[in-house]
A and B are shown apart, each in its own frame.
Chain A
Amino acid sequence: MSDNRYKAYWNTNLKYLFLLLVIWFIVSFGAGIIFADTLNQFRLGGFKLGFWFAQQGSIYVFVVLIFVYVFLMNRLDKKHEVDE
């Protein structure tokens, strides 16, 4: 693998990680903890929104984040021909 190609692969990977971890932080520590009281003014059916993020929503987003990461990385591996 050429030096440039390696750098391109790794930097794209880091970009994905950064984006996904920002979302990870926002839904859990953000919506579930720091802004929970503010979000509780809004409702999602029978749930106060902040409470929903803290006990339900954040977990759903976590699962989705991992599968999005799997998809992005598989595509990246193929593009740079480093898939096994």
Chain B
Amino acid sequence: MELQTWTFIIVGVTFALYIGIAIWSRAKSTSEFYVAGKGVHPITNGMATAADWMSAASFLSMAGLIAFMGYQGAQYLMGWTGGYVLLALLLAPYLRKFGKFTVPDFIGERYYSQIARIVAVICALFVSFTYVVGQMKGVGVAFAGFLNIPFEWGVIIGVAIVFFYAVLGGMKGITYTQVAQYCVLIFAYLVPAIFISILMVGNPIPQIGLGGTLADGTYLLDKLDMICTELGFKEYTTSHRGKTDLFFVTAALMLGTAGLPHVIVRFFTVPKVADARRSAGWALLFIALLYTSAPAIGAFARTNLIQTVNNKPYTELPAWFGNWEKTGLLAFEDKNEDGVVQYYDDTNEAYITAKAQPNGWKGNELKVDRDIMVLANPSIANLPNWVVALVVAGGLAAALSTAAGLLLVISTSIAHDLLKKWLRPQISEQGELRAARISIAVAVLVAGYAGIDPPGFVAQVVAFAFGLAAASFFPAIVMGIFSKRMNMPGAVSGMIVGLVFTATYILYFKYGGGSSDQYWFGISPEGIGTIGMLLNFAVAITISSFTKAPPAHIQELVYSIRIPRSSSPND
């Protein structure tokens, strides 16, 4: 069967499944809409969290990023998994015991202040919105690339699907569709990974295959180091930059992960404190399945690409090369007009004088988009069309599940934190539920519109979302749990200093014309959230030690969230 037919069938079946689940799991109360009635099994929640967490970028781009970054790609691998340890140990069980609906809920009550709540709402909205726009764009790209549907229509179809199940089912509908989406995306990711691992090193487990040997008896990674250096690139498996930035970026991604509202809120949906802990373990296990396969895919793909394409006459390249050239993700430009593909590092001066010039090479002739690694893998490995179609459905599942989780945070922030807890406290439950549905509907439409025509700032979403979450939410929540003494003035000034510092640094280097040689201690904007977090802690602790301790009922609240069962110190 044709690839396009397969894609229509598989994508169609998965979409029908999501809609079916949405109809089955309609939300009837605000508790069901916000936190799925707190009745989600920990393993189910683990899967939903994994789908919530793994976005279009994790699914499509990460393996390709690692393929070109080599060792340095570890910042994403460790950064986007290590945060779950912090989440499980420092946040999830206590927030579940607290037992409300949102992160601003916790900040607002723990710091007995509407200002704290509103600062938290603004952060949650900003972080979630920038993030969701990227997902909508991802949906459009997947449709446009594979179904020959115009990009705008791709986004519109994505909007329609999310609209349907998020507005109808709220957190309940989102949770169960995310479980289905996790199954689709992990299957779609692992099938090609397993095939390619068998093909290259004869081992069906990609995580082990990465350390396996090629047909000629050399270890894959040693071979990759060798061919990279032969082409003037840096060695694949070792570091060749200072470690400072790697350290800070990894830390910022971890701290940001633990502070992202759409991830935290998933732990409000399980029945018990013990379930929140267990659920974080399952979530990370499900995430690790993909995250430990990604470096294998990256290394396989890089080796495969170089061996198949480099120094080969253009006319003898395999058919997939031509197919991907059409999409613009692969490009060959014959700079020295010899009809042969020269792929090498044309920024490496020593290599140019020693190797390129004597051979008459006039620059690197191969351009590879990082997204192609996952998408093209099945065709590079000669896998059947249905596997390619499956990868498309997987990419869509990853984008839609993350988008839905983010949209829910946006809607609860507006309906619950702004309306119910601030502007109109007398609103009825039905009224609040209606407001939540309306705000999620509006948010989907705005996100879809922004996805079609993304404002410039969206491209920097990773730096922003993680930096701001690390510098604002993470310290405020941790201190709220682990310090009885932390008070409103301390926490609020800490959050504001952390936020302003981090946002200013990012804005200066992304838009203000700052160049990388001006980085403080060599820390890039992606890693500055770590410093923002330290500043937040320092300011909060200093200010709180000068100001009045929090009132007695707040100290009791802290007491009670630390213990799974019990209510107050006087029990």
Using CB atoms and an 8 Å cutoff, list the residues of chain A in contact with chain B: 1, 3, 6, 9-10, 13, 17, 20-21, 24, 28-29, 32-34, 36-37, 40, 44-48, 50-52, 54-56, 58-60, 62-63, 65-67, 69-70, 73-74, 77, 81-84
Given the contacts A17-B90, A45-B211, A47-B210, A62 and B288 also touching, CB distance less than 8 Å = yes
Most buried by A among B74, B77, B251: B74
A56 touches B292 (CB 8 A): yes
Task: Spot the interface stretch: B236-244, B320-328, B464-472.
Answer: B236-244
A66 touches B280 (CB 8 A): yes
Q: How far is the CB of B3 from chain A (nearest CB, A)?
A: 32
Q: Cβ of B237: which chain A residues have Cβ within 8 Å of it?
A: 40, 48, 51
A47 touches B77 (CB 8 A): no
CA distance A37 to B213 in the complex (A): 23
CA distance A63 to B210 in the complex (A): 20
CA distance A59 to B96 in the complex (A): 25
Q: How far is the CB of A74 from chain B (nearest CB, A)?
A: 6
CB-CB contacts of B545-571 with A at 8 A, as 1s and 0s?
A: 000000000000001001111100101
A62 touches B84 (CB 8 A): yes
B281 touches A59 (CB 8 A): no
CA distance A63 to B280 in the complex (A): 9
CA distance A67 to B250 in the complex (A): 22
B278 interface residue, CB < 8 Å from A?
Answer: yes
Identify A60's interface contact among B74, B84, B288, B295, CB under 8 A: B288
Using CB atoms and an 8 Å cutoff, list the residues of chain B in contact with chain A: 66, 71, 73-74, 77-78, 81-82, 84-85, 88-90, 93, 207, 210-213, 219-222, 237-239, 243, 246-247, 250-251, 272-274, 277-278, 280-281, 284-285, 288, 291-292, 295, 559, 562-566, 569, 571
B71 touches A55 (CB 8 A): yes
CA distance A44 to B211 in the complex (A): 8
Given the contacts A1-B563, A9-B563, A69 and B277 also touching, CB distance less than 8 Å = yes
A63 touches B565 (CB 8 A): no
B277 touches A54 (CB 8 A): no
CA distance A73 to B219 in the complex (A): 42
Given the contacts A37-B238, A48-B238, A55 and B564 also touching, CB distance less than 8 Å = no
Q: Cβ of B273: which chain A residues have Cβ within 8 Å of it?
A: 84
A17 touches B210 (CB 8 A): no
Q: How far is the CB of A57 from chain B (nearest CB, A)?
A: 10
A24 touches B85 (CB 8 A): yes
B211 touches A62 (CB 8 A): no
CA distance A67 to B278 in the complex (A): 7
Q: Cβ of A56: which chain B residues have Cβ within 8 Å of it?
A: 207, 210, 292, 295
Identify A54's interface contact among B77, B221, B559, B565, CB under 8 A: B77
Q: How far is the CB of A81 from chain B (nearest CB, A)?
A: 8
A84 touches B238 (CB 8 A): no
Main secondary structure of the interface of B (DSSP, over half): helix
Q: Cβ of A44: which chain B residues have Cβ within 8 Å of it?
A: 211
Q: Cβ of B90: which chain A residues have Cβ within 8 Å of it?
A: 17
A70 touches B563 (CB 8 A): no
A46 touches B78 (CB 8 A): no
B85 touches A70 (CB 8 A): no
A70 touches B278 (CB 8 A): yes
Q: Cβ of B277: which chain A residues have Cβ within 8 Å of it?
A: 66, 69-70, 73
Q: Cβ of B220: which chain A residues have Cβ within 8 Å of it?
A: 46
A65's nearest neighbour on chain B, judged by CB, is B85
A69 touches B247 (CB 8 A): no
CA distance A20 to B246 in the complex (A): 22
Q: How far is the CB of A54 from chain B (nearest CB, A)?
A: 4
B218's nearest neighbour on chain A, judged by CB, is A46
Q: Cβ of B274: which chain A residues have Cβ within 8 Å of it?
A: 70, 73-74, 77, 83-84
Q: Cβ of A28: which chain B residues have Cβ within 8 Å of it?
A: 78, 82, 250
Identify A62's interface contact among B82, B93, B295, B566, CB under 8 A: B82
CA distance A59 to B289 in the complex (A): 10
CA distance A70 to B292 in the complex (A): 22
B564 touches A33 (CB 8 A): no
A54 touches B281 (CB 8 A): no
Q: Cβ of A59: which chain B residues have Cβ within 8 Å of it?
A: 77-78, 81, 288, 291-292
CA distance A63 to B285 in the complex (A): 6
Q: How far is the CB of A27 from chain B (nearest CB, A)?
A: 9
Identify B221's interface contact among A21, A51, A77, CB under 8 A: A51
Known: A29-B247, A37-B239. 20 other contacts (CB 8 A): A20-B85, A20-B89, A21-B85, A28-B250, A32-B78, A36-B71, A45-B219, A48-B238, A56-B207, A56-B210, A56-B292, A59-B288, A62-B288, A63-B285, A70-B278, A77-B274, A82-B564, A82-B565, A84-B274, A84-B565
A32 touches B280 (CB 8 A): no
CA distance A40 to B243 in the complex (A): 15
CA distance A33 to B91 in the complex (A): 25
